Chain A
């Protein structure tokens, strides 16, 4: 029952976080970015990478850790081609101008991670009355499952199970703009369960 209450609470928080993050993304890119209703899932799910093109697909994104009243992990992932389009939109360039994840592109993606990740973390903090600090973003550029799996491992190495909130963003044309993953550490899940109860 406690787990059910937790999932319900986190679903509400994830919705708020996704709205805030979508607003941040829309402002940055100058176009409407819509958000699918976020999932809250428990366990290591095989389909976690489907939204960004499958397990072995190459993604570019940002990783942030959360510290404060709870600790955890935030990842924003884009298929590489979509990440580069986002960079062009952010920089006011024609799509296709950026062709590789160079220093400028990586810096822009880090900024995206910062804004979207912080929006989600702030929703968690405001809605649950917690003090939370997102870390500066680290640029990640690898096969999608290698990144997701590494977050699973860090959470599971502390005992407990993976509780993951994920939200898929879409642009005006209905194409996937990115995938946001938020996973609290197990000790933090216990704390969140108390809040939910």
Chain B
């Protein structure tokens, strides 16, 4: 089943934002991830879900601005896990899924900054630092993705401009 319940409320999680929810009617969505990466989390026991929309790999010690708390992979993941714990989720039970990190501006550009690739690597490392291995990933390639997590079931779906939603 790919469609959320008809009364579902879609909560857009924009660039550098994160959201935590226990409302089974909510669907947390990161629209159009290009080189950005979405990290979805679900604790099946407490039924808490979280989604972070990361833009860049490293804060390099820079202060994180309040308006984009999840801009960077390192500080963004730390904050996501902290907020999940505050909402009652256990890091040991979390089912973590990761999608995005594409090179959408063409092959010539892809070689220059490799932001998507670096984002994926930074997220893998930071999750490992917290003792978490993602249950599923869909990263890289050349197409943008939309990632959504259905809070009621914890199911995560990815779609691209060319393909319908597939469960991750």
Question: Which B residues are within 8 Å of any A CB, using their own CB?
Answer: 14-16, 31-36, 55-57, 68, 71, 102-109, 112-113, 115-116, 143-146, 161
Complex-state Cα separation, A69 to B116, whole angstroms: 27
Which 4 A/B pairs are nearest by Cβ-Cβ distance? A146-B144, A138-B106, A145-B32, A146-B34
Q: Which chain A residue lies CB-closest to B146?
A: A56
Question: Which A residues are within 8 Å of any B CB, using their own CB?
Answer: 44, 46, 55-56, 58, 63, 65, 135, 138-154, 156-157
B39 vs chain A, min Cβ distance (A) = 16
Contacting residues, chain B, for A157 (C-beta < 8 A): 56-57, 113, 115
Given A147-B34, A157-B115, A65-B109 contact (CB < 8 Å): yes
A162 vs chain B, min Cβ distance (A) = 11
| Contact between chains at A58 and B109 (CB < 8 Å) | no
Contacting residues, chain A, for B145 (C-beta < 8 A): 146
Complex-state Cα separation, A54 to B75, whole angstroms: 29
| Contact between chains at B144 and A135 (CB < 8 Å) | no
| Contact between chains at A146 and B109 (CB < 8 Å) | no
Q: Which chain A residue lies CB-closest to B12?
A: A55
Kindly list 13 other residue pairs between chains A and B, CB separation below 8 angstroms, not including A140-B104, A153-B113: A55-B31, A56-B146, A65-B108, A135-B108, A138-B106, A145-B34, A146-B32, A146-B36, A149-B55, A154-B112, A154-B113, A156-B55, A157-B56
Contacting residues, chain A, for B36 (C-beta < 8 A): 146, 149-150, 153
| Contact between chains at A153 and B35 (CB < 8 Å) | yes
Q: Which chain A residue lies CB-closest to B115?
A: A153
| Contact between chains at A142 and B115 (CB < 8 Å) | no
A179 vs chain B, min Cβ distance (A) = 15
Given A135-B108, A142-B161, A149-B56 contact (CB < 8 Å): no
Contacting residues, chain A, for B146 (C-beta < 8 A): 56, 143
Q: Which chain A residue lies CB-closest to B102?
A: A146
Given A55-B31, A55-B32, A146-B102, A154-B144 contact (CB < 8 Å): no
Contact residue among A140, A146, A153 (Cβ-Cβ distance under 8 Å from B106): A140
| Contact between chains at A143 and B31 (CB < 8 Å) | yes
Complex-state Cα separation, A146 to B113, whole angstroms: 16
Complex-state Cα separation, A143 to B146, whole angstroms: 9
Given A142-B161, A145-B31, A157-B56, A150-B105 contact (CB < 8 Å): yes
Contacting residues, chain A, for B106 (C-beta < 8 A): 63, 138-140
